[in-house]
Amino acid sequence: MKMHLVPKPLGYAVMAVMAFLYLFPLLYLFNVSVKPELEFLVDPVGIVKHVLFSNYPDAWKQGNFGQLIGNSVFYTAAAVGLSVLISALAAFPISRGYVGWASFLYVFFMISIFLPNNLVPQWNLIHSLGLYNTRLGFVLVNTGIGLGFMLMAGYMKSIPKELDEAASIDGSSYSRFVLTIILPLIKPVLATSAILQAIGVWNNIIGATVYLSDKKLYPIVLGLFKFYGQYSNQWTLIAAALVIVASPLLLLYLFLQRYIIEGAMTGAVKS
């Protein structure tokens, strides 16, 4: 069933303009990244004449990006894994009312979106626990209960309660039921929460600036930002660095885009 809220020609025109607005910066970035520095200084905008790939190994080496990407993968995996797990384990009893004060707890968790910026006391806390400039500290400040909790609780409500009773009649314990039946059942929403949170953790540049001092512990976004500060006059090098950082994400996105976008879409409908 086709819906023609927008006439076709207008639709194509809009798509063309927007595509240009989104494609051009990326193509331009790539163009700069393969320019010799001198050519860039003389003619920054023109299409590259002498294609030069050496900016890439240079940027890779000087930025130590291999290690930094590894750090980001670790932080994201750890913080997201932990967050999704604890959110799911908490969302189930709350959505079912298996704990007292369930609706209070639901609101209590949900207000995390509104709470005052807690960066200052949080920094003091992390510091006094000896977790400043440690991997564990950075993972912990990125672990949390947010939108994912809301999505999961909403999704769990749609699972019929009879399932719980059937399981208990079969002699299943609560923990076995949650771990082996409920968690697999809510896989789609787990994935959605994970994706949404992963985007947030991966890009947490303020947190990294504040909590990490050791270059070896930087996530890639902070490393990239510092790289830009250090080589701010060498755009060819920075452009290469940007392409280096963007490529794995781009690749991942190419393979997983169905899941990522559809995950975001399921999230939207359920909420």
Partner 1 sequence: MNSRLTKKGLTVLTSSLLVLALAACGNNNNGKSSSSPAATGAASPSASEDTKPITLKLATWEQPTNIEAFQKLNEKFTAKYPNITVTFDTSKPDGPYQTLLQTRLNADDADIVTSFAINPKKDYHAGAAVPAMQQYIDAGLIEDLTGKAFLNNFTPESLKDAMTYNDKVWGIDVGMVTYTGVFYNKELFEKNNLKVPTTWPELLNVAKTLQDSGVAPFTMAGKDIWPLGMAANGFIAALEPDLEAFDKKIWSGEVKFTDPVFKEMLEKYEQMMGYMEKGFMGVDYASVVGRFAAGKAAMLPDGMWNAGAIAKANPDMKFGYFPMPVSDNAENNKNFYGKYDMSLMIAAHSKNKEAALKYLEFFSEPENYSEFVNAVGFLPTQPNVTLKDPFLQEIAPQASKMKLAMDIIWQAPQGAGNYTSSVTPVQLLKPAGKETPEEIMNNMQKEWEKEMANLK
Partner 2 sequence: MYPFGKSWSRLSPYWFLLPALLIYIIFSFGPSVFTIIYSFTDITAVQGTKWQFIGWDNYKEFFQSGRTPVYYAALKRTLIFAAAVTGIQTALGLFIAIVINTKLRGHMFFRSLIFLPVVLGVTVFGLVWTLMLNPLDGPVQKIWELFGSSSTFLGSPDLAFPLTIFIQIWGALGYTVVIFLAGLQSIPGDLYEAGRIDGAKAWQSFAHITWPMLAPTVTVNLLLAIVGSLQTYEVIFILTPNNPYTSVLGYEVYLAAFGSNAGVSLRQGFASTVAVLQFGLVLVVALIAQFYLRRREVQM
Least distance CB 65 / partner 1 (angstroms): 18
Taking CB under 8 A as the criterion, which residues in 77-136 touch partner 1? Answer: 99-101, 121, 124-125, 127-129, 132-133
Pick the stretch among 46-54, 66-74, 194-202, 228-236 that binds partner 1 (CB under 8 A).
Answer: 228-236
Q: 3-class DSSP state for residue 117?
A: coil
Least distance CB 203 / partner 2 (angstroms): 4
Nearer to partner 1, 77 or 131 (CB): 131
Q: Binding partner of residue 251 among partner 2, partner 1, none, CB under 5 to 8 Å per kind?
A: none
Taking CB under 8 A as the criterion, which residues in 224-263 touch partner 2? Answer: 224-225, 228, 235, 238-239, 242, 245-246, 249-250, 252-253, 257, 260-261
Q: Which two tokens stand for residue 60?
A: 């890779």
List, in sequence order, every beta strand (DSSP E) within 102-170.
none
Biggest distance spanned by C-alpha atoms of the chain: 78
Alpha helix ranges (H) inside the chain: 8-33, 37-42, 55-63, 65-96, 102-110, 119-128, 135-142, 147-157, 162-169, 174-176, 183-185, 187-202, 205-211, 220-230, 235-270
Judged by the rule CB under 8 A, the positions of this chain that interact with partner 1 are: 41, 99-101, 121, 124-125, 127-129, 132-133, 209-210, 213-215, 226, 229-233
